[in-house]
Amino acid sequence: MSHRRYQALLAFVFLIWWIALAIDPLYRKDWALENALVGAFVLAGAVVNHRFLLSRVSYTLIFVFLFLHEIGAHYTYAEVPYDAWFGALTGRTFNSLVGWERNNFDRVIHFSYGLLLAYPVREMFIRVADVRGFWGYFLPLDLTMSTSMIFELFEWAAAVFFGGDLGMAYLGTQGDVWDAHKDMALASLGALIAMSFTALLNSYLQRDFAREWGDSLRVKHPKPLGEDEIARLLKKK
């Protein structure tokens, strides 16, 4: 299957999934807030897609993340009934099996954010910014950490702006004062695992892996920047 057809297939399946979960969500206003971010994400993806296609691996990872996110948007992350689903299948709740004391669906999604999206980000860094070696693994991790922090600030701002039940439903801390810190840590951990696995795979498959890694850490421009660069630019005028 061509990249275009594969992308179209994933888009069609996601659209059906989105429509199904848009019907009678638990809290309509919270669903709208959660999907505002999805709309921005899809728009950004359309801009990227207009310029170049990503790999099937990247599109699959993005699809899985958005697929899971829509479940959280339908129920709100704090009230996804995964425990009831698991109990209906096995006769025992998942939380009791793993020792969780809260609804941790939001934790899973934050971890998945790093685990599933770090590789598509890496692909874009390599193909657009032409990063190599160490930076091809560090920058996706760094971007995951920074965007995770920005999202937590966005959640805080939205909770303050909307207030009341909608603000608390969107924030979804479930009484944990360290919720934002744990969410950022899990997203970072997911990206670290994804980039570590990618690096290990490339070290096995790529013959010049060590040389490329070393070259990426070599100083390319020995002259200082800052005020020295300003002086050099002024001399050229």
What pLDDT is recorded for position 154? 81
Distance between CA atoms of 172 and 72, rounded to whole angstroms?
11
What pLDDT is recorded for position 64? 97
Q: Are the C-beta atoms of residues 195 and 70 closer than 8 Å to each other?
A: no
pLDDT at 157 over 90: no
Distance between CA atoms of 120 and 7, rounded to whole angstroms?
14
80-90, pLDDT tens digit by residue? Answer: 999 999 999 99
What pLDDT is recorded for position 33? 85
Distance between CA atoms of 28 and 120, rounded to whole angstroms?
31
pLDDT confidence band for 178 (50 / 70 / 90): confident
pLDDT confidence band for 171 (50 / 70 / 90): low
Which pTM was predicted? 0.88
34's tokens:
């959660």
